[in-house]
Structure 1
Amino acid sequence: MEFSVKSGSPEKQRSACIVVGVYEPRRLSPVAEQLDKISDGYISNLLRRGDLEGKPGQMLLLHHVPNVLSERVLLVGCGKERELDERQYRQIITKTISTLNDTGSMEAVCFLTELHVKGRDTYWKVRHAVETTLDSLYTFDQLKSKKDETRRPLRKIVFNVPTRRELTLGENAIEHGVAIAAGMKATKDVANMPPNICTPAYLAEQAKDLAMTYDTVTTNIIGEKEMQELGMHSYLAVGRGSRNESMMSVIHYQGTDEKTAPIVLVGKGLTFDSGGISIKPSDGMDEMKYDMGGAAGVYGTMKALAEMNLKINVIGVLAGCENMPGGDAYRPGDVLTTMSGQTVEVLNTDAEGRLVLCDALTYVEAFDPELVIDVATLTGACVVALGKHATGLLSSHNPLAHELLNASEQSGDRAWRLPLWDEYQDQLESPFADFSNLGGRAAGTITAACFLSRFTKKYNWAHLDIAGTAWRSGGKDKGATGRPVPMLSQFLMNKAGVETEH
């Protein structure tokens, strides 16, 4: 897909299609009014006849509008002008792209970026139009023998901005939107891959490919032999029941002076989670290929970062592992010695993500990081608490938590902060080890983060639980969402001093 911006009046556009908005009830946007004027009231006459009310997502495709140079005009219902918010704007863009793709319009000039969205400027509207467009056109058909192909797919969109002064803003918005969408696509491609293909070794190959593609990236892979030497016995225990070797991929992005402390992102990479000996119910177990959503999100963020060439140092860790039952699998009742030296009593082998992450979080101390964020599909309790809309955010450092929440609001990739009070730590007590890997049913998301917090004392740390937001369940719409790439990318852009609010 090719994107560009320009500034010009609609009557001068010669394109396969012009896209303009209509508010409810039957009220033309300023750009639609201009088209109506040059067409001698053609559009307003149609609206008076009741062809379009202007409700959100309504579409009316017109051909050969009098005195208009473009072949088609697509009228898009935008709802009530005062109620047009970010969510509705993205929904309108999604429906518009779907309609354009079905009409055979291979290019379009879109004036929807001139709509008034509460509290959002031209940069935001263009960037989110790009991200939403590419997200809505995503398909995963690599493994299908017959692919559904649109006969005349949409190939080019020009976004119109109100004044020439905003062209640079629009160009920056496109550049950033395309990079973030590329990161989301990379995340979705890896996460959607079936577990017989996407193993820890496959994750490692994707990490190495990043280093082949970008001069700013280097990658090294830590296998089981080196993990053993490092004392990562907790991480190794989780993978013992699988024939697929555990592999931790460490991706270094250097965008500034090497003396600058890096930001570290650690992603849980359980390429399949059967639950181990504490085996999961069979219903929906196919979706446990998404238990590497954290690693996929970190991988996609590293790609977006490299595409934008941000002036910042970042290390992404993909903690690849597979949790399977087997003759050598770890058991409930086992006591594991972590890389940090702390011991853990295993109460449930399906609380395995924290046992992998704890050693990865200890490992990254060696980088003397500015801060560390771990990303994990960690708890079903997070889905119960927040549903599919918000990522759970827990942190021991208030400024970092606030920066992430700010990035989540800017990007539209929402997070919600949960408490991390000391009172919850008591739920992890064990009579046989320093603590257990399970805090019981109550406050499961919080006690999982409490567990991780015991391995993060040497740096500022935040935890993102994406169990509810990394993928959609069931039916034909099942698949990875690409989250939290937008939030993390925005966070890193803010850290790099990239101006995104004007």
Structure 2
Amino acid sequence: MDFQTLALPESGVSGIAADALIVVLPATGDLPSFGGVVDAALADALKGGDLERKAGKSVYLPRVAGVKAGRVVLAVSRDASAKAFKSAVASALAAVKSGPAKHVAVVGGDASAAHAEALAIAVGDAVYHYSKTKPSAAPAPALAKVSYAVPKSAAAAAKTGLGVGAAIVSGMDLARECANLPANYATPTYLGEQALAMVKTHGLEVEVLDRKACEKLGMGSFLSVARGSEEPPKFIVMQYKGGAKKDAPVVLVGKGITFDTGGISLKPGPEMDEMKFDMCGAASVLGTLRSVAELKLKVNLVGLIPTCDNMPSGKATKPGDVVTSMSGQTIEILNTDAEGRLILCDALTYAERFKPAAVVDIATLTGAIVIALGHHNSGLFSPDDALAADLLAASAAGLDPAWRMPLDDEYDDLLKSNFADMANIGGRAGGSITAAKFLQRYTSKFPWAHIDIAGTAHRSGAAKGATGRPVPLLTHFVMSRAK
């Protein structure tokens, strides 16, 4: 996608050369002037009842006399925020993205960097098109160029915002594509190949460790999950070195269960197909590394992805088995469907070697977080107030909401085991919290946070598919650490 700024004509927007013109107007207050012809069309649409000044409302006007663009969409924004602007643009794009328009110009908002970034992400969401395993899919949207028409005084800020947005969209597209692929395509080996491809395309350093290497490292917890599958496990290490050599890196750890049957603790059949999305944490790490590399941020960033299938077989780990993690701590596996924490804990121990400034793990970890927060906020857990505040600020800046959850010591008692240092589950009550408490036992040597994206990484139903979240949150977090 080609994102550009465009000088806003003093005479009005009717002369902007584009296939379609999106005009965003506020729901309340005085209407801004967009120039005589467009102002007249807007007044007529409001008077005739074709458009209401209510958030989410829009109207499509083809062939408006005196307007150079062949199509005009008027869209109403709830308020002046970047979030509301993004929603209004998304509403307008729905009316034009399936048509022949190749170039769309957008007018409205406050022309800030935040609004420009929101515009880019709205476009990315609208035009993402999955067709890898669906030859019969409708053609991809024709839209190839988006211009944000802004005053000259705002051009520099808007250009910066579009650049950040374009990089985030690039990362989200990679995350969506990896997650949407079925599990017989997006295997652990495939994820390793996607990481290795970024050595040439984005200048990353990448190492993909096989089962033997993981055994040598003592990753008994990670490998216990992989036992039941014919697919070989991989442990992916990605490094972006944009900062000084002495700068401690940020480490992102992504859960990469490419398919989760639950193992011996088998899941119910309905909707099990959606367990291909259990590697969305890994996909978001791949996407964030791409975004950060494209932004050329002056920061050191490490991505760690433990990836495997969780399958039942004669070799699969059984409920009641005890395994030894890379840290030396033993784990009684009471439920093989609580496998994400088993692969993440060894990755967290591996992260120690980088002497990180901060470690953030990202995982579709628990159904309990969906019950707690639904599908809007990701769950954020951290014992470190400063790190949690940075991540919440990044979620706000990236329009990628998260909500901080508790990590009180009392929850830790639920993980007691008679036969190992800990159990891998703590019962139904507070399930997302006890999962985070399990991970916390492996994080004493660095500032740490955990983001549970089980409710936000993908959608079900008619809109089934990956969202690309939390790439915006993670990218803004890394940006905040860059020099």
With structure 1 as the length reference, what TM-score do the two structures score? 0.91
Deviation string 1:390-424 (CA, Å, 9 cap, x unpaired) is 11111121111110011111111111111111111
Deviation at 1:208, TM superposition (A): 0.5
Aligned to 1:118: none
Alignment equivalent of 2:238, drawn from 233, 239, 251: 251
Deviation at 1:201, TM superposition (A): 0.8
Aligned to 1:112: 108
**Structure 1 residue 158 corresponds to structure 2 residue 147:** yes
Instruction: Decide whether aligned partners of structure 1 residues 63 and 245 sit closer, same or farther in structure 2, where only a CA change above 3 A counts.
Output: closer
Looking at structure 2, the residues matched to 248 and 153 of structure 1 have their Cα atoms a distance apart, in angstroms, of: 38
1:154-193 to 2 correspondences below 5 Å: 154-161=143-150, 163-193=151-181
Deviation at 1:31, TM superposition (A): 3.4
Does the CA-based 8 Å contact 1:14-1:70 persist in structure 2?
A: yes
Alignment equivalent of 2:279, drawn from 280, 285, 292: 292
Helix, strand or coil: the match of 1:220? strand
Deviation string 1:74-118 (CA, Å, 9 cap, x unpaired) is 222335xxx45444322211121121224433223211334xxxx
Instruction: Decide whether aligned partners of structure 1 residues 64 and 386 sit closer, same or farther in structure 2, where only a CA change above 3 A counts.
Output: closer
RMSD of aligned alpha carbons: 1.9
Looking at structure 2, the residues matched to 50 and 460 of structure 1 have their Cα atoms a distance apart, in angstroms, of: 56
Looking at structure 1, the residues matched to 240 and 134 of structure 2 have their Cα atoms a distance apart, in angstroms, of: 34
Deviation at 1:122, TM superposition (A): 1.1
Looking at structure 2, the residues matched to 193 and 24 of structure 1 have their Cα atoms a distance apart, in angstroms, of: 40
Listed as ranges, the gaps of 5+ residues in structure 2 are: none
Q: Which amino acid aligns with 1:77?
A: V
Deviation at 1:270, TM superposition (A): 0.5
Alignment equivalent of 1:13, drawn from 5, 12, 16: 16
Aligned to 2:480: 494
Deviation at 1:367, TM superposition (A): 1.1
* Comparing 56-65 and 134-143, the one that deviates more: 56-65
Looking at structure 2, the residues matched to 352 and 29 of structure 1 have their Cα atoms a distance apart, in angstroms, of: 55
Give every structure 1 segment of 4 or more consecutive aligned residues whose post-TM-superposition deviation is greater than 6 Å.
none
Deviation string 1:273-309 (CA, Å, 9 cap, x unpaired) is 1111111111111111111111111111111111111
Does the CA-based 8 Å contact 1:20-1:29 persist in structure 2?
A: no
Looking at structure 2, the residues matched to 69 and 316 of structure 1 have their Cα atoms a distance apart, in angstroms, of: 48
Alignment equivalent of 2:184, drawn from 196, 218, 233: 196
With structure 2 as the length reference, what TM-score do the two structures score? 0.95
Does the CA-based 8 Å contact 1:374-1:462 persist in structure 2?
A: yes
Deviation at 1:46, TM superposition (A): 4.4
Deviation at 1:341, TM superposition (A): 0.8
Instruction: Decide whether aligned partners of structure 1 residues 423 and 229 sit closer, same or farther in structure 2, where only a CA change above 3 A counts.
Output: same
**Structure 1 residue 351 corresponds to structure 2 residue 341:** no
Looking at structure 2, the residues matched to 438 and 147 of structure 1 have their Cα atoms a distance apart, in angstroms, of: 42
Aligned to 1:478: 464
Alignment equivalent of 2:405, drawn from 418, 428, 431: 418
Helix, strand or coil: the match of 1:322? strand
Does the CA-based 8 Å contact 1:470-1:481 persist in structure 2?
A: yes
Looking at structure 2, the residues matched to 445 and 493 of structure 1 have their Cα atoms a distance apart, in angstroms, of: 28
Instruction: Decide whether aligned partners of structure 1 residues 46 and 289 sit closer, same or farther in structure 2, where only a CA change above 3 A counts.
Output: closer
Looking at structure 2, the residues matched to 450 and 36 of structure 1 have their Cα atoms a distance apart, in angstroms, of: 57
Aligned to 1:133: 123
Does the CA-based 8 Å contact 2:381-2:436 persist in structure 1?
A: yes
Q: Which amino acid aligns with 1:136?
A: A
Deviation string 1:30-51 (CA, Å, 9 cap, x unpaired) is 13354456xxx45424432333
Does the CA-based 8 Å contact 1:249-1:317 persist in structure 2?
A: yes
Helix, strand or coil: the match of 1:136? helix
What is the count of residue pairs matched by the alignment?
A: 480
Looking at structure 2, the residues matched to 418 and 72 of structure 1 have their Cα atoms a distance apart, in angstroms, of: 46
**Structure 1 residue 94 corresponds to structure 2 residue 96:** no
* Percent identity of equivalent pairs: 42
Looking at structure 1, the residues matched to 115 and 471 of structure 2 have their Cα atoms a distance apart, in angstroms, of: 18
Aligned to 1:454: 441
Instruction: Decide whether aligned partners of structure 1 residues 102 and 291 sit closer, same or farther in structure 2, where only a CA change above 3 A counts.
Output: closer
Instruction: Decide whether aligned partners of structure 1 residues 380 and 42 sit closer, same or farther in structure 2, where only a CA change above 3 A counts.
Output: closer
Helix, strand or coil: the match of 1:32? coil
Looking at structure 1, the residues matched to 435 and 73 of structure 2 have their Cα atoms a distance apart, in angstroms, of: 50
Instruction: Decide whether aligned partners of structure 1 residues 463 and 45 sit closer, same or farther in structure 2, where only a CA change above 3 A counts.
Output: closer
Looking at structure 2, the residues matched to 479 and 125 of structure 1 have their Cα atoms a distance apart, in angstroms, of: 26
Instruction: Decide whether aligned partners of structure 1 residues 13 and 393 sit closer, same or farther in structure 2, where only a CA change above 3 A counts.
Output: same
Looking at structure 2, the residues matched to 399 and 178 of structure 1 have their Cα atoms a distance apart, in angstroms, of: 29
Deviation string 1:237-295 (CA, Å, 9 cap, x unpaired) is 11011111111010011002222111111111000111111111111111111111111
Helix, strand or coil: the match of 1:31? coil
Aligned to 1:500: none
Aligned to 1:401: 388
**Structure 1 residue 29 corresponds to structure 2 residue 31:** yes
Does the CA-based 8 Å contact 2:207-2:236 persist in structure 1?
A: yes
Looking at structure 2, the residues matched to 388 and 46 of structure 1 have their Cα atoms a distance apart, in angstroms, of: 35
Instruction: Decide whether aligned partners of structure 1 residues 78 and 210 sit closer, same or farther in structure 2, where only a CA change above 3 A counts.
Output: same
Listed as ranges, the gaps of 5+ residues in structure 1 are: 115-120, 498-502
Looking at structure 2, the residues matched to 382 and 43 of structure 1 have their Cα atoms a distance apart, in angstroms, of: 44
Instruction: Decide whether aligned partners of structure 1 residues 266 and 42 sit closer, same or farther in structure 2, where only a CA change above 3 A counts.
Output: closer
